[in-house]
């Protein structure tokens, strides 16, 4: 196996982990997960990605690289009034919907019928508060936050993919020096997985489960399939949705939220520099899976170190990591004139954070956008 393949898989996994782990931890905190449940969440989702990447790559002989749902983690982190057991129920529901999308064509067509602008407007509304929080923390904790922003901006000029990872490392250094964070205990609990009983609350299934499914499909799976096609591979759409959906259902019992096709990190593993023989590039999925198993195994060391950081630093790292997805969502939301107003309505309602009947803003934003779009359609001859 060429060194270039090992290097590509290692970089892709570390970038994926380092750039959004703070967001996953913020999601766990938002639903009240304790330290053991949070560690289990991270380990379970690492193992889930490893199993799915190895299985699909070996089965279809295509370099399939999976990721956790970054916009999904942002959605969870923005939720209020949801506990970990209700969240697990929503994760299972979202995973079932993904698996059913592979098996039931009418459901597949219904999801595809949602205009991309409206789905992107919902995603942009979810992401906006996180990016805005960077400015708030910069004003209140300048000594901690401004150096992180400087690192992010400087590294971004050299290598955009490494900017958030470099910022996370800088955050750890600042936290344990200037920030006064206590060093993690040397007594590490090596219990990786903790069973979390699900609770199926209809309001949470609608307010969190359905939006989690939609943002995962629209913002991760569809771009992931597109990246494969752009590199000359026919993506195994049905198999990928089935495998990621079922894995998401099972590993949700240990805290993990949904997994899906990777897009940005997948691009690292698909080029000619990875392996000159295109038919052999599927093996990168095996190396990538091995790296994620190691990340999952060492989670009990990594996660406490990050959790020991001041919450302002975690919030800033997460907010900076979400700037590129926010840009992409805004561009997509307002790209087409025909759905621009409906996308704006979706964006505004979702970003407002309004909740009604125990159902979160993402659902109401999507509903508002679809109603506006329907009215626009009725108006047109």
CA distance 170 to 148: 7
What is the model's pLDDT at position 179? 60
What is the model's pLDDT at position 35? 87
Is 154 a member of any domain?
A: no
Is 141 a member of any domain?
A: no
Q: What is the pTM of this model?
A: 0.78
Backbone angles phi, psi at 114, to 5 degrees: -70, 120
With bands split at pLDDT 50, 70 and 90, how would you rate the model's confidence at 381? low
Token pair for residue 226? 């597109």
Compute the residue count for the chain.
381
78-113 pLDDT tens trace:
888 899 999 999 999 999 999 999 888 787 777 777
Token pair for residue 272? 């000619």
What is the model's pLDDT at position 288? 94
What is the model's pLDDT at position 322? 78
Is 167 a member of any domain?
A: no
Q: Which residue has the tokens 């023989």?
A: 277
Domain that residue 58 falls in: 3-132+187-309+320-379
Query: Which residue in 279, 315, 294, 309 sits closest to 27, CA to CA?
Result: 315
What is the model's pLDDT at position 182? 66
244-264 pLDDT tens trace:
999 999 999 999 999 999 876
Is 144 a member of any domain?
A: no
Residue 347 has pLDDT above 60, yes or no: yes
Long-range contacts of 228-234 (CB under 8 A, 24+ apart): 228/62, 228/63, 228/64, 228/261, 228/266, 228/270, 231/267, 231/270, 231/271, 232/278, 233/62, 233/63, 233/270, 234/62
Is 143 a member of any domain?
A: no
Is 26 a member of any domain?
A: yes
Residue 186 has pLDDT above 60, yes or no: no
38-59 pLDDT tens trace:
999 999 999 999 999 999 999 9
With bands split at pLDDT 50, 70 and 90, how would you rate the model's confidence at 303? confident
Helix axes 361-379, 116-140, angle to 10 degrees: 140
Is 107 a member of any domain?
A: yes
What is the model's pLDDT at position 190? 67
Mean pLDDT along residues 221-241: 83
With bands split at pLDDT 50, 70 and 90, how would you rate the model's confidence at 123? confident
Count the domains in the chain: 1
With bands split at pLDDT 50, 70 and 90, how would you rate the model's confidence at 369? very high
Q: Which residue has the tokens 């964070």?
A: 181
What is the model's pLDDT at position 148? 92
What's the chain look like in SS3? CCHHHHHHHHHHHHHHHHHHHHHHHHHHHHCCCCHHHHHHHHHHHHHHHHHHHHHHHHHHCCCCCEEECHHHHHHHHCCCCCCHHHHHHHHHHHHHHHHHHHHCHHHHHHHHHCCHHHHHHHHHHHHHHHHHHHHHHHHHCHHHHHHHHHHHHHHHHHCHHHHHHHHHHHHHHHHCCCCCCCCCCCCCCCCCCCCCCCCCCHHHHHHHHHHHHHHHHHHHHHHHHHHHHHCCCCCCHHHHHHHHHHHHHHHHCCCCCCEEECCHHHHHCCCCCCCCCHHHHHHHHHHHHHHHHHHHHCHHHHHHHHHCCCHHHHHHHHHHHCHHHHHHHHHHHCCCHHHHHHHHHHHHHHHHCCCECCECHHHHHHHHHHHHHHHHHHHCC
Please state, rounded to an integer, the average pLDDT across all residues of the chain. Answer: 86
What is the model's pLDDT at position 187? 63
What is the model's pLDDT at position 380? 67
146-156 pLDDT tens trace:
999 999 999 98
What is the model's pLDDT at position 66? 95
CA distance 76 to 317: 17
Query: To 5 degrees, how large is the angle CA 234–CA 236–CA 239?
Result: 175
> Regarding beta strands 259-261 and 66-68, do their DSSP bridges make them parallel or antiparallel, or are they unpaired?
antiparallel
Residue 215 has pLDDT above 80, yes or no: yes
Rounded to 10 degrees, the C-alpha dihedral 230/100/20/59 comes to: -60
Is 38 a member of any domain?
A: yes
């Amino acid at each position: 196996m060429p060194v270039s393949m090992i290097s590509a898989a290692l970089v892709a996994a570390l970038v994926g982990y380092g750039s959004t782990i703070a967001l996953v931890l913020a999601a766990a905190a938002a639903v009240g997960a304790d330290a053991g449940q949070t560690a289990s969440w991270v380990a379970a989702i690492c193992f889930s990605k490893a199993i799915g990447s190895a299985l699909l790559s070996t089965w279809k002989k295509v370099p399939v690289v999976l990721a956790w749902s970054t916009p999904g983690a942002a959605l969870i982190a923005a939720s209020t009034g949801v506990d970990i057991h209700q969240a697990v129920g929503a994760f299972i529901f979202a995973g079932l919907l993904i698996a059913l999308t592979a098996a039931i064509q009418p459901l597949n067509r219904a999801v595809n019928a949602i205009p991309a602008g409206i789905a992107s407007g919902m995603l942009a509304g979810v992401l906006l508060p996180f990016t805005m929080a960077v400015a708030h923390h910069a004003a209140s904790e300048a000594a901690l936050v401004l150096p992180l922003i400087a690192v992010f901006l400087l590294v971004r000029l050299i290598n955009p993919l490494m900017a958030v990872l470099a910022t996370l490392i800088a955050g750890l250094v600042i936290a344990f020096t200037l920030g006064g964070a206590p060093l993690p205990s040397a007594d590490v609990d090596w219990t990786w997985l903790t069973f979390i009983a699900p609770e199926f609350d209809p309001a949470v299934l609608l307010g969190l489960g359905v939006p989690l499914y939609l943002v995962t499909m629209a913002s991760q799976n569809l771009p992931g399939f597109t990246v494969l096609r752009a590199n000359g591979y026919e993506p195994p759409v049905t198999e990928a949705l089935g495998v990621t959906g079922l894995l998401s259902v099972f590993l949700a019992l240990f805290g993990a939220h949904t997994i899906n096709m990777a897009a940005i990190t997948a691009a690292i593993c698909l080029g000619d520099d990875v392996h000159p023989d295109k038919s052999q590039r599927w093996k990168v999925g095996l190396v990538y899976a091995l790296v994620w198993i190691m990340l999952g195994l060492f989670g009990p060391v990594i996660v406490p170190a990050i959790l020991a950081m001041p919450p302002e630093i975690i919030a800033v790292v997460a907010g900076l990591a979400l700037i590129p997805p926010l840009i992409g969502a805004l561009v997509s939301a307002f790209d087409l004139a025909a759905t621009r107003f409906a996308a704006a309505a979706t964006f505004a309602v979702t970003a407002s954070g309004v909740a009604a009947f125990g159902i979160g803003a993402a659902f109401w934003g999507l509903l508002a956008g679809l109603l506006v779009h329907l009215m626009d359609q009725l108006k047109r001859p």
